[in-house]
Amino acid sequence: MRVVVEKDYEAMSRCATDLVQKAIEKDPQCLVSFPGGDTPVGMLREFVSRVNSGMIDPTGVKFVQLDDWVGIGPQDEGSCSHFVNTQLLTPMHRPFADKFLFDGSRIAAIDCQLKEQDAFIRRYGPIAVEVLGIGMNGHLGFNENGVDFSLRSHRTPLSAVTKAVQKKYFGGRELPLAEGITQGIAQIMESELVILLASGVQKAEIVFKAITGPVTNELPASILQKHPNCIWLLDQDAAGLLPRELVEMKNP
């Protein structure tokens, strides 16, 4: 596990894109996975810019979505699939070779979609680059507190913390969303490279606990301590509580 600290959000986003680009150059047919949420927006914009300028060739690359809310779909602003479409897929002038996205509005087909995601990852995987954020409760995707680390794609009740912060994705509206669908910890841990992005002082405490505390499913991100090729990529605010001897400072 490496902890890399960049001077600010923009530098962190560029560094993440550099790492993804190197993985694609190493294997132009690889499988990648990027998260939704606020933190990866800068990385996605940089990735799209490099695709559209010809620096990155996505035409052999496969993409798999990390997670989504049960009850809303690609047509709904605030869903993760809507985020992926608007921030990544639509702006790219050249498409991925193949992609898998959830549709959480197809509630009767959720179990089928989970099987399809598992099959997609088996077909093209393991995931070469798994980019993740970290929730305020330490979740990865929708792998919430108490998750079984052996699970693959699954459906899960949302924690109280996740439900409390969800309205920021829906213009301040509170929606009756109580479940998520997500890649499992087993698939994340099988990924060749995991990049955990965290930005802002509000993430400093949970980042500190996940990196320095015990490995426990009560704080799912702590399992990344056991990943053989994991990079925690932070800005200085998110790294503010970490001991200096743990971090690699870039361009301070």
The domain spans of the chain are: 2-249
Give the pLDDT band of residue 138 (cuts 50, 70, 90).
very high
d(CA 180, CA 198): 21
pLDDT for 169 beyond 80? no
- pLDDT, residue 87, reads 97
- pLDDT, residue 90, reads 98
Q: Give CA separation, 76 vs 50, 54, 140, 169, in Å.
A: 28, 31, 22, 11
pLDDT tens digits, one per residue of 59-70: 999 999 999 999
Give the pLDDT band of residue 176 (cuts 50, 70, 90).
confident
pLDDT for 170 beyond 70? no
Give the pLDDT band of residue 171 (cuts 50, 70, 90).
low
d(CA 208, CA 171): 30
The edge-to-edge listing of strands for the beta sheet with 179-182 is 67-69, 179-182, 154-157
Q: What is the CATH number of domain 2-249?
A: 3.40.50.1360
What's the rounded mean pLDDT across residues 24-47? 97
pLDDT for 115 beyond 50? yes
pLDDT for 249 beyond 90? no
Give the pLDDT band of residue 248 (cuts 50, 70, 90).
confident
pLDDT for 174 beyond 80? no
pLDDT for 57 beyond 90? yes
State the pairing for strand pair 179-182/154-157.
antiparallel
State the average pLDDT for the chain: 95
DSSP string over the chain:
-EEEEESSHHHHHHHHHHHHHHHHHH-TT-EEE---SSTTHHHHHHHHHHHHHTSS--TT-EEE--EEETT--TTSBTBHHHHHIIIIITT-SS--SEEE---TT-GGGHHHHHHHHHHHHHHH-S-SEEEE---TT--BTTB-TT--TT--SEEEEPPHHHHHHGGGGGTTPPP---EEEE--HHHHHHSSEEEEEE-SGGGHHHHHHHHHS--BTTBGGGGGGG-TTEEEEEETTTTTTS-GGG-EE---
CB-CB contact of 26 with 61 (8 Å) = no
- pLDDT, residue 252, reads 47
- pLDDT, residue 247, reads 87
pLDDT for 71 beyond 60? yes
